[in-house]
């Protein structure tokens, strides 16, 4: 289940918890990460999503897992889509395919 509160953009967390405490400028951090200043600035300001490549670079620079950074982006992406409340018609489930109540809840799992 998704939370009601909007998840933090990973760029904001990176800026507040890494760059500012280390006293790094966007220009310095971009050079260290091997990305353009523009690309990093857009990410830090929430104007672009975290790419797998940027997650690898940030993970290496901070000695953290790229998966943890991508997980933050995934949570934010899912939250945004869920807020749009897409209209979906559930797949039908055959009565003979569901042996118990748990099986009836999902057509896939």
Residue 106 located in a structural domain = no
Structural domain containing residue 54: 10-83
Both structure tokens of 102: 């748990």
The reported pLDDT for the residue numbered 86 is 87
CATH at 61: 1.10.260.40
Give yes or no for a contact between 14 and 44, defined as CB atoms under 8 angstroms apart.
yes
Residue 98 located in a structural domain = no
Q: How many domains does the chain have?
A: 1
Residue 107 located in a structural domain = no
Q: Per-residue confidence at 94, pLDDT binned at 50, 70, 90?
A: confident
Q: Per-residue confidence at 33, pLDDT binned at 50, 70, 90?
A: very high
For residue 70, the 8-state DSSP code is: H
Residue 28 located in a structural domain = yes
Q: Per-residue confidence at 97, pLDDT binned at 50, 70, 90?
A: low
Residue 105 located in a structural domain = no
């Amino acid at each position: 289940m998704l939370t009601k509160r909007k998840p933090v953009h990973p760029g904001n967390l990176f800026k507040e918890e890494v760059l500012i405490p280390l006293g790094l400028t966007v220009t310095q951090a971009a050079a260290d990460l091997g990305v353009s200043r523009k690309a990093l600035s857009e990410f830090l300001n929430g104007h672009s999503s975290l790419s797998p490549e940027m997650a690898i670079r940030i993970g290496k620079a901070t000695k953290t897992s790229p998966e943890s950074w991508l997980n933050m982006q995934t949570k934010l992406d899912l939250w945004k889509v869920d807020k749009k409340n897409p209209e979906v018609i559930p797949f039908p489930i055959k009565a003979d395919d569901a042996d118990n109540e748990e099986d009836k809840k999902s057509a896939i799992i």
